[in-house]
Amino acid sequence: MKKKIQQSSSLSLFDWIKQIISFKKNWNDFSEEDKKTYNIFMINKFLSMNQGYLDIVNYVQKLNIQDKEKSYIVYCSLIPKSQKNYFPYCKSTKKPQDPELLDNISKYYECSNREASEYLELLSKGEVEEILDSMGINKPQPKKQKKNASKV
């Protein structure tokens, strides 16, 4: 006979953030299991990633509240209520650079690939093409590399 594995229904960090922002429940409405998942440090960290909440988080941290219930109540009373979901992580808008192009630029400037990546951010498309031409990289490969250089 197989036993059913019950998944924990306790609140995640993001659920707690949603609760604070929307303030739908009082502290006593949460289960003991949910209350255990409330992490003051992580709540402070995530709320501080929103510039609109930064002053509030700074103020609350100066109060040095160690009690989970008090922390929740203070945040619920100070954070403006919103229906929007707030998740602070942003994806990078930078596209990865062509490794061959990075290698060629690092050879040209005699530097690391990390430094070459920084150079590519500063160089114009025409300058990258001139560098590749001066290195004798032309015909089939440069089209690919020149094409990638234009994405920089």
- Domain match, 67 and 103 both: no
Q: Kindly report whether the global pTM for this prediction surpasses the value 0.75.
A: no
Whether the pLDDT of residue 4 is over 70: the answer is: no
Q: Is residue 98 within 8 Å of 128, Cβ to Cβ?
A: no
- Domain match, 17 and 49 both: yes
> What is the per-residue pLDDT for 36?
93
Task: Give residue 68's domain range.
Answer: 13-78
Give the least confident one: 11-15, 21-25, 112-116. Answer: 21-25
91 in a structural domain: no
Confidence of residue 143 (pLDDT cuts 50, 70, 90): very low
> What is the per-residue pLDDT for 24?
80
- Domain match, 36 and 71 both: yes
134 in a structural domain: yes
- Domain match, 67 and 124 both: no
Residue pLDDT, tens place only, 40-50: 999 999 898 88
The mean per-residue pLDDT over the stretch 60-66 comes to 92
